[in-house]
Structure 1
Amino acid sequence: MQEKLKTKVEGSVLQMEWTFDAPRELVFAAFTEKEHLEAWWGPEGWQTEITTFDFVEGGIWHYCMRCKDPAQGDFYGMESWGKAIFRQIDAPQSYAHADYFSDASGTISEELPGSENVTTFESIGDRTRVVFRSDFKTEEAVKQVLEMGMKEGFTSQLHRLDQWLLQRTVS
């Protein structure tokens, strides 16, 4: 059963939740292994290339999402660079990371908001509930990322992950 993204904003905190029809270890691996992330990370019609991925505390994840879908109009050909710094890892229950917009060289954007994030993975039978908590510096920063379409883009990529997981759990 497909659940929609549950979203809650409280001040400068954005919390989202999604339940996957897959076991926790597989869902955790999908979020924490380079080859898996490249297969589904980014909205529909976008392709992700990871230039650096070191899933250890203090490690860096630097990537580029590129729009490959001409039907997306002005977005076609666009690049969106991101950089994360892993803060804490408690596999397969959770991990924490700082998340930023960046450029191709990994320089963090001063104009776009960054956040401190905790992602938790909870087993519910043979399903997994994932809770994404993002702490921004201000309420305005939360509003800015939401106005940029973050919720819609994230929903699209979580649907892509649902499909990726389905291919690995069908026996």
Structure 2
Amino acid sequence: MSQANAANQMVSRVEGNDLILERVFDAPRELVFQAFSKEEHLKHWWGPRGWILSVCRVDFRPGGTWHYCMKCMDENQGDFYGMESWGIATYHEIDEPNRIVYSDSFSDADGNIVEGMPTSITTMELLDENGQTKLVSRTRYNTPEELKAVMDMGMLQGITETWDRLAEHLAASK
């Protein structure tokens, strides 16, 4: 597969309770890192197509949080139109521009974690590949059943669309 094609393909696999995602982005590692760490970047690409970040509050430091709301603005998405999905991430480890480790949970508008919904820990590694960036994301759930629950919610399609939007944002930001 050529570099151009590889940059457009996300590879995913499940290992036990972990979902591993890999994709090469045609952008320098520093820019990809900023896209995940700065509000002015996140609000342009986070979420599946047809969704916006109506709320995006980032305190990017170990112990800091990212509280956000994705809202469906696409009338063609039927019952999803107008729907809000709140989340909160807590940053555990930041090694710029190499690595970000955070926990991620469903939340309410006040930032309270929704009980009974899956929570995960994600480790993102950003690897320089001749001016491009290979992103390796490993997300661990408490149980295989929690991982299956988020997969059944359409999470893989959502991440694929989100990372497609990230690639478009990076191309426009270079």
* Contact 1:50–1:61 under 8 Å retained in 2: no
* Map of 1:84 onto structure 2: 89
The share of aligned pairs that are identical, in percent, is 45
Matched residue pairs, number? 169
Other structure's SS at 1:111 match: coil
- Structure 2 unmatched ranges of 5 or more: none
1:161 to 141, 157, 166: 166
For residues 8-27 of structure 1, what are the structure 2 equivalents within 5 Å?
8-27=13-32
Map Cα deviations across residues 92-111 of structure 1 (whole Å, 9 max, x no partner): 00010000011101110112
* Contact 2:8–2:164 under 8 Å retained in 1: no
Cα distance in 2 between the residues matched to 1:109 and 1:168:
35
Which 4+ residue blocks in structure 1 deviate beyond 4 angstroms? none
Given the alignment of the two structures, is residue 116 of structure 1 paired with residue 125 of structure 2, yes or no? no
| CA pair 51-31 structure 1, distance change in 2 beyond 3 A | closer
* CA deviation after TM superposition for structure 1 residue 168, in Å: 1.9
TM-score (norm 2): 0.94
* Map of 2:112 onto structure 1: 107
TM-score (norm 1): 0.96
Cα distance in 2 between the residues matched to 1:99 and 1:40:
18
Cα distance in 1 between the residues matched to 2:12 and 2:35:
21
Given the alignment of the two structures, is residue 32 of structure 1 paired with residue 49 of structure 2, yes or no? no
Cα distance in 1 between the residues matched to 2:79 and 2:118:
23
Q: CA RMSD in A?
A: 0.9
Given the alignment of the two structures, is residue 71 of structure 1 paired with residue 80 of structure 2, yes or no? no
Other structure's SS at 2:76 match: helix
* CA deviation after TM superposition for structure 1 residue 51, in Å: 4.2
* Contact 1:47–1:68 under 8 Å retained in 2: yes
Other structure's SS at 2:63 match: coil
* Contact 2:39–2:56 under 8 Å retained in 1: no
* Contact 2:29–2:126 under 8 Å retained in 1: yes
Other structure's SS at 1:106 match: coil
* Contact 1:43–1:157 under 8 Å retained in 2: yes
Amino acid in structure 1 at the alignment position of 2:12: T
